[in-house]
Amino acid sequence: MHEGRFFYVFISSISRQPQIRGRNMSKELMSQQDLERALTRMAHEIIEKNKGISGLCLIGIQRGGVYLAQRLAAKIRDIEEKEIPVGSLDIALYRDDLHIRRQQPVVRRTEVPFEVNDLKIVLVDDVLFTGRSIRSAMDALMDIGRPAAIQLAVLIDRGHRELPIKADYVGKNIPTSMSEIVEVQMKEEGFEDRVILKKSDSGEEKGAA
């Protein structure tokens, strides 16, 4: 999960969705089983759309996207009985809000141990929100090589796009208000697998992407 964007918190006047009242209130959007099923379906969709997995790789955006990419890769391996290359991408240095963020993003590893030139890349992220992270990720990928194509897989699409970006594979569409936070919790980070919707406290910055 990326450390979110604090400034959206302040522009939350228009909210079309019912809001969660009170502090520390959260609602479960996806259970462990929902998450598992969504990933299984996405794995099948990726294989179907690309007519197999030849020339295909998965690259997860640090951090939540990395775990999801690894899980999708495991599912694809089970279905196709072939390995699919998996990498991780850190977008901190490509963000468009470095100079205005209250908290500097942590720089994590970018590990793409294969040539991306002429590969089809499925970029994997946990939450699609404004689309700005994906813009940064595409810039970062172009500095690594020249892929044949980039597709996008996200577990949650919460709307509110600020750039012309659309996901090719979506686990679940969830309409949200700007003041809410979508948090994808995964066992790789010591949680139980689930997706929750939280009302943002001003200090809280998790989950928005």
Partner 1 sequence: MLRSKDLLGIKELSLEEISLILDTAAGFKDILGRDIKKVPALRGKTTVNLFFEPSTRTRTSFEVAAKRLSTDVINFSVPTSSVVKGESLIDTALTVQALGADFIIIRHASSGVPHLLARHLHAAVINAGDGTNEHPTQALLDAFTIREKKGKIEGLEIAIIGDIMHSRVAKSNVYCLTALGAHIRLIGPPTLIPEHLKKTGISVFHNMEDGLKGADVLIMLRIQMERQGKGFFPSTEEYAKNWGLTPERLSLAKGDAIVMHPGPMNRGIEIVSEIADGPRSVILEQVTNGIAVRMSIMYLLSGVKR
Q: Per-residue string for binding with partner 1, 46-85, x by CB under 8 A?
A: ----------------------------------------
107 binds partner 1 (CB under 8 A): yes
Q: 6 or 94: whose CB is closer to partner 1? A: 94
Residue with tokens 């479960």: 28
Distances (CA, A) of 87 to 36, 92, 97, 112, 121: 21, 16, 24, 4, 10
The residue from 106, 148, 149, 163 that contacts partner 1 (CB under 8 A) is 106
Minimum distance of partner 1 from residue 113's CB (angstroms)? 11
110 binds partner 1 (CB under 8 A): yes
| Structure-block tokens of residue 134 | 């994906």
Binders in 129-148 for partner 1, by CB under 8 A: 139, 143-145
Which residues sit at the interface with partner 1, rule CB under 8 A? 90, 92-94, 98, 102-104, 106-111, 139, 143-145
